[in-house]
A and B are shown apart, each in its own frame.
Chain A
Amino acid sequence: MLRSVHASRACVWLALAFAAFGAGARADESARPSPEAVLDARYRLVLDLVRHTATYTPPVASRAFAYLGVIGYEATASGRQDMATLAGQLHDLKTLPQREPGAYDEALALDAALSSATRRFFDNTGPTGQRAMKAMDAKFSPVVAAGLPADVVARSQAYGRALTAAVSDWADGDGRNEIANMGFPMEYKLKDGPEHWRPTSDIALQQKPLLPDWGDNRTFATPMGETCDLPPPHSFSTSADSDFYRDAKEVDDISLHMTAEQKAIARFWSDDPMLSTTPPGHWIQLAIQASDKLDLPVDKRVDLMARLGVATADSFITCWRAKFQYDLVRPLTYIRAHIDPDFTPLIITPPFPEYPSAHSVQSGAAVAVLTRFFGENFAYDDASHVADGLPPRHFASFAAAAQEAAMSRLYGGIHFRWAAEQGLVQGRCVGRYANALKTRK
């Protein structure tokens, strides 16, 4: 199961690292973690930071996963003859630093790259996150470097840091480094008309929608502009024989007659920001689990993490463009006004327009990538939320998981079925562009 497997690999190395330093023992080269273990340990910290950094809503988290994925990938690919750089393939990423002649340690280069990347993308995290990053650098990185010649250490770390600096410069170009006011604009004019989004909570910050111009972001691999566009949602109507009313009635009916299984599904995939690793983090966790299960070598792992990061980041951008194009009212608003004034969704309605379902879009994109790596029948147990009191769920395939993730939003009472179904379609479209990246020469 995910958490135990994922945690175990990273924890072994962290424990070794801490024990060695705690005892004042000389670092032993034999205790050095592999590149795979470095990747695991660094992503474990990143997942914690995503959960505990206030600006890390799902779109923001997906962006960080994309850049971290590229950094991890390039740190490894730059040391191998058989891997191709992503420079020239991702929008506006023209060049990346070349390695200087000399010996490198791949684990250490990867550690240095991801360490500096974590600091770069979580610069705004709170005091506990800052403390955690410092502790990991102070205790883990020396173990990775243990026993290596000084010039190899210096060269490997310098390259890792230079790589992050270059990707960081590239990231600066998307204009999304600073997320002000936790992502909520200070000014925003709501569109007139009952079909359009209205605030769904009494949280003051959420009287305006989250990140309304996120759809204007630079994409990574998906062609900029009108790509993977969706058909419009059902026409707004309050007539009881309209598709729109029927969609809403279905949401209300489900809430009134919810099965235990539907409730479990809705809560399992809720993936709330600041209370979980977010939806993109959930798929990252699953990717790590699957990689560990098959004991994938590092070149495959970084390839996977780069594509997955890119796919989910592009899916949020694409989805957000549609969300604010259609600016559709949430079920909560419509149902309370026209069907059931007491309607209360099981999970919290996110503070932005309804169509399409972002969780569905990014799940469709993520699964496109995961299926490419692990096949169409990769069965697994997902224990991502055990620590939060939610039991593991079994899936026969990643596609089945994505389907469930999409339906979870219907069961949770925050999306109409059409938004969930079309979200998966859009996500699969976006995922194809991530899968088309060339990573082998």
Chain B
Amino acid sequence: MRLGCAAVALALTVAAARADDPAAPHFVDATAASGLAASYDGEWQYMVGGGVAAFDCAHDGKPSVLIAGGEGAAKFFRNVSRPGAEPKFELQPSGLELKSVVGAYPIDIDGDGEVDLVVLRVGEVDLMRGLGNCRFENANAAWGFVSQDAWWTAFSATFEKGERWPTLAFGSYVDRSKDQPWGTCTQNLIYRPARDNGEPQRRFSAPLPLAPSFCPLSMLFTDWNRSGTPSLRVSNDREYYEGGQEQMWRVAPGEPPRLYTEAEGWKYLRVWGMGIASYDLSGSGYPDYFLTSMADQHLMRVERPQGGPPTRPAFNEIAFKHGVTAHRPYAGGDLRPSTGWHAQFEDVANSGLVDLFIAKGNVSEMKDFAARDPNNLLMQRADGTFVEMGDKAGIVSFEQARGAALADFSLSGALDILVVNRNAPARFWRNDTPALGHWLGLQAMQDGPNRDAVGGWIEVKLGDRVQRRELTVGGGHASGQLTWVHFGLGTARQAEARVIWPDGTADAWRPVAADGFYRMRRGAGPARWTPPP
């Protein structure tokens, strides 16, 4: 495109500043200082994926990371940061140094208090059991998990009612043996807990197909209507399916999964589904779903008749209204449409309003889409709309970003950003915002199999306003986290917090002082946790 035209058009893409725009956060590229040196490498079979898992495997509260390597081996970096200081990581052997890794999600499968990892690969899925002290071993055989050969690209997990073992859902992409793989979406699978003579077992049953399968790049068990039974939302890549669309499976205990239908209210939506992020933006108690795609990104909100509870799985597009279409680069001069991957709602300024990060990057020399496609950092205004501040925040880069993790890596109360890039080094941006608001880091813990309360909610109340986060495993783009749940408090020095546990039991609201970490044990309320020096 001619420069003059580009300049005019770029001006059109940059929204005028508004008086109610939030102050811009500030990040510093600390990749070299962090010690993170990794890259997601590979050609066609690695054009998608490139995830990162962030999890505490050392019981020190600090999220370490596993970064997918594609054709190369995945790399585990142990978090050796001193609390509140510069984030530091060390490459360490962990047993996770697998090849062909697309992405990974942390979850405590066997309820032993040691985080396990579900590793998606081109080929097989590996369930990696945590042995303690950040060591892992393959537990497929021990847990009766028989993986099939496929291009695994999506994952989510839940603990179904009454079960002592999780249910795992996997999404696979195309038949990679085909020269023309369009229309060859391979089978998605769901593994439920095994039972012998009706008795629950600590292993998985043979998988059930989630048919039809439409080449998902993200899936998420989520309780969209607060029924207590999460459904499986699946975001599918329209590039490859025939007759496909976005999907949501009703996964009721003891019943085969079944798709929500048009007759039930499900609305036909076809996008280049690449990632899912969820958050209750409206404060209604019901999560909204951000779906990354090519060109326009999508934000879906469930219909609530007369403002009451949703009565059917009907979602409407609200991205345009909220200013999160993020359809074109906002910096770099490339005006072609954008390509979104991992997305995550987090409050990076601790303002009390959650923001939206989107990892961006061309699929692979797609000429009709931006080659210089910076990641987005969309900051939320008080009126619920968002404004792009990636450039002001200092996170503009032009690699092919894929997975990401926004987390408090140094236990400082500020969220840093780790982005995995395809065929380029991962980047780490340290949050250096000078005037951060107050914050909380919360973690729900219970005894028994579902130790991290997957399927529950953590809520924080400031006055009459409640922020809430559903505790999920899945979504994003090939990237998952099991670490502190972060809440910004703005100027408030105190808030109330509670957990709504997966069985629906709600703890009482308890006061919590700002700027601290709290472990919220079932029945015990929040207990302040101080990082070891």
Contact = CB atoms under 8 A, between A and B. Distances in A.
Interface residues of A, number: 35
Contacts of B296: 203-205
A127 interface: yes
Contacts of A186: 5, 8-9, 12, 335
B270 A275 contact: yes
B181 A128 contact: yes
A181 B270 CA distance: 20
A371 interface: no
Given A204-B327, A387-B243, A389-B243, A182 B337 contact: yes
A14 to B, nearest CB: 9
A240 interface: no
Interface residues of B, number: 40
B402 interface: no
Contact of A202 (B1, B47, B317): B317
Interface stretch (A129-137, A249-257, A394-402): A129-137
Nearest to A207: B320
A275 B237 CA distance: 11
A135 B44 CA distance: 13
Contacts of B182: 48, 51-52, 128
Nearest to B364: A127
A300 B325 CA distance: 48
B335 A181 contact: yes
A48 B363 contact: no
Contacts of A123: 367
Contacts of B226: none
A128 B239 CA distance: 10
Contacts of A387: 183, 242-243
Interface in A42-69: 45, 48, 51-55
Nearest to B179: A135
Contacts, number: 93
A128 B44 contact: yes
A261 interface: no
B392 interface: no
B460 to A, nearest CB: 31
Interface string A257-297: 00000000000000000110000000000000000000000
Nearest to A387: B242
Nearest to B47: A127
B238 interface: yes
B180 interface: yes
A205 B328 CA distance: 9
A204 B240 CA distance: 24
Interface of A: 18, 45, 48, 51-55, 123-124, 126-128, 130-132, 135-136, 139, 179-182, 186-187, 202-205, 274-275, 387-390
24 contacts: A48-B180, A55-B368, A124-B368, A126-B364, A127-B43, A127-B44, A127-B363, A127-B366, A128-B239, A128-B240, A131-B44, A131-B179, A136-B179, A139-B179, A179-B368, A181-B336, A182-B337, A202-B317, A203-B320, A203-B325, A204-B320, A204-B325, A274-B238, A389-B242
Given A187-B9, A187-B12, 20 more contacts: A18-B179, A52-B239, A54-B294, A54-B337, A124-B368, A126-B363, A127-B47, A127-B366, A179-B368, A180-B1, A181-B336, A181-B337, A182-B337, A186-B5, A186-B8, A202-B319, A203-B325, A204-B319, A204-B328, A275-B270
